[in-house]
Structure 1
Amino acid sequence: MHKLQRLSVAKLATVFLKLSVRLKSSTGRPSVPLGARLLTNPDDIFKHNMWDHVEWTEEDRENARRQAAENSSVRLPLTEQGKLDREASQYWDKFYEMHQDKFFKDRKWLFLEFPELLPPGAESQDADTCRSNQPAESPLQGTSSTDAGTRRHRRNTGDVHFQEAGQDAGRGEKEAAEQTSAFPGQHASFRIFEAGCGVGNSVFPILKSIKNTDSFLYCCDFSPRAIQMVKDHPDYDDSVCHAFVHDICEETASFPFPPQSLDVVLAVFVLSAIHPDRLQGVANRLSAYLKPGGIFLFRDRGRYDLSQLRFKKGRCLSENFYTCGDGTCVYFFTKEEVHDLFSKAGLEEIQNLEDRRLQVNRRQKVVMRRVWMQGKFRKPYPPSSS
């Protein structure tokens, strides 16, 4: 099944009465995370473009498993798979040559879901506009505005320890930096690194919000074209940002900052583009650059998202890993895989969410099930010597 399913009003009533809000205390998340538009009346299904916190029935899960198994039954030949892996940066370079900076919109939702990106005491400059005109990848598309009280609540629940820990780590890290060769952003008190930044859809909202703070942003991509577009952007400022070409899969390539020097590592829709066999090594290497108390922020594709189920036979490379028509690749994660990935990298889980949404085409009366993963993982402090 690759066509979008049109549901009758009667069937909608049956299906959506089973939907519920998933608020699990074990995630440490605030009471209304990732948006707040809940479908309580099935007659309202086509009133909005997106509904939040959708619980799947066992029938939904079985249908998704069956569709994924079907489209994975014919796989791309190994000879072609090797080329996709070897020439991955070239495929992404062509992607950016074709789409330039028009494919994604700036991710202004970042600061609602990831307030850890802001240094202590800073306010997001995009808080009032972050919910409008978001791309399909956005966790906030079609949701209603979040008030300032909710934003404050998010910063004050689960984030206080991180900020205090970051300040403590900063004191020790400053002494270590004095013994390290000079590097961009060396004297900043708060450092962020975005892996796989593309053309800067996260970079420029972050730069706008850390302006006039003692912060520094690093960003890399293995597409030279993408990095050049970041540097050519009128808002790029090399006094607070260092963009560089880098393949995070390359085991021997060095970063322009020392180990244990970062407060935040950000990976948004990046790790899914990497071959599953390389993911653990990437997570291990990136985590090594976090300070004790630093945090890894992650958002990516979830298992059985609509985009996975719509792949045609012959596009599958390995289980839950596919290639698109332009040669780029995508993997679809489960919550358990995300937990294992970062736990094995030595990080502690703060948040690990399976974000299920209903995306609605109101004109065509089509309902689509979307799934994203979101997580926050902290680097622990070393055991006390006392």
Structure 2
Amino acid sequence: MSRKQWEAESYHSKDFDWNELREEVEKNPSLQFHFLPFSEVVTQIEDAQLDSEAWDQFHARHSTGKFFKERRYLLKEFPELASCKDESKVLEVGCGNGSTALPILCGREGIILYACDCSNEALERAKEIVTASNSVSAIHRFHPFLCDFSTTGFPLWLACNTCSDSSFHGHHLGFSEAYAGANLDEARSCIGGVDFVTLIFTLSALPLDRMPKAIKECFAVLKPGGMLLFRDYGVCDMTMLRFDPQQRIGYREYLRSDGTRSYFFCLDTVRSLTSAAGFIEVELEYCCVNAANQQNGKVMKRVFVHGKFQKPTLN
């Protein structure tokens, strides 16, 4: 078995108990500030345009390809994608540099993938990555478009026809700007909703007050019976514990030096957001992974929240 195959098979497992890690962290005096109440009101970074600019700059700095790390575990962790019917429609929200798009497109030949991001730079990187795969099929099934779903909502052509009149509040964009790189004839009409929405390390980059709207938008574009596939950073993840006190901008919310933000989820927060939007919980758990640093040999305790949520079927 090659190293990449080994990583794909073993990356997400139960390497340690989350409750034991939480207890260990809470007893460490140098880390207790992470769990203190936070009441300071921060306003200087609330503008959505600033968020987009920060991510544009982030992807411009990481444009060499070294930053790209294909998420090979996706179809293993979300087997629904591997077993779905041909021409199933997937919406990837916050596609970044294509690290999620490529394994989905290459792992399941029949999938049609719509991918959005608030950053033009990210979309350019994703297009380059998919094109470099030399898979004609993947290129033809990949439809990227610019969208900040947490502020403007999704374009109307994504909406589920059944739900659009009653629950969809997306902002309509002209197909020429909202459907860059896609087939224009198809873009002129509504695609009738998608079968899956993937929200992979995306929600944590939003301000907390935008998250309820963001999840409701995901619910609105799903067909009845469709699924939201979720993965993001969990409480006590190594990344959270590396932040300094001055980088806190809220309870479990942090601002990086490059202007991007990160939130760390507990199960109850994800459960509350999804149930309020109307989802039925299928799976929700912590993924606790010991990841070895290849340079120094140290083991890093990574904590992710893994979830699957279904939109109710029509009666």
Q: Which amino acid aligns with 2:248?
A: C
For residue 58 of structure 2, the aligned residue among 91, 95, 99 is: 95
Query: How far apart are 1:111 and its partner, in Å?
Result: 0.7
- Higher mean Cα deviation, 325-334 or 249-258? 249-258
| 2:260 maps to 1:328 | yes
Matches within 5 A, 1:1-386: 35=12, 51-53=15-17, 55-56=19-20, 59-63=23-27, 67-69=31-33, 78-82=42-46, 85-100=48-63, 101-120=65-84, 189-211=87-109, 213=110, 215-232=111-128, 233-235=131-133, 237=138, 239-251=140-152, 254-259=155-160, 261-360=193-292, 366-382=298-314, 384=315
Query: How far apart are 1:74 and its partner, in Å?
Result: 8.9
Q: Which amino acid aligns with 2:238?
A: L
What percentage of residue pairs aligned between the two structures are identical?
Answer: 31
Moved over 4 A (4+): 32-36, 52-55, 70-77, 360-367
Cα RMSD, aligned residues only: 3.0
Q: Distance in 1 between matches of 2:263 and 2:273?
A: 14
Runs of 5+ in structure 2 lacking a partner? 1-8, 162-192
The number of residues matched between the two structures is 270
- Which structure's CA Rg is the greater one? 1
Checking the alignment, whether the CA contact within 8 Å between 1:75 and 1:315 is kept in structure 2 is no
Query: How far apart are 1:373 and its partner, in Å?
Result: 0.4
Judging by fraction of residues, say which structure has more helix. Answer: 2
Counterpart for residue 18 of structure 1: none
Query: How far apart are 1:307 and its partner, in Å?
Result: 1.1
Q: Distance in 1 between matches of 2:44 and 2:99?
A: 31
Higher relative contact order at CA 8 Å, sep ≥6: structure 1 or structure 2? 1
Checking the alignment, whether the CA contact within 8 Å between 2:114 and 2:144 is kept in structure 1 is yes
- Higher mean Cα deviation, 243-252 or 281-290? 243-252
Closer/same/farther in 2, CA of residues 191 and 119 from structure 1, 3 Å limit: farther
Q: Which amino acid aligns with 1:98?
A: R
- Higher mean Cα deviation, 275-284 or 66-75? 66-75
Q: Distance in 2 between matches of 1:114 and 1:225?
A: 28
TM-score, L = length of structure 2: 0.76
Counterpart for residue 155 of structure 1: none
Q: Distance in 1 between matches of 2:29 and 2:226?
A: 37
Task: Classify the secondary structure of the residue corresponding to 1:93.
Answer: helix
Q: Deviations over 1:280-331 (max 9, x none)?
A: 0000011111111110000000012121111112111111101111111000
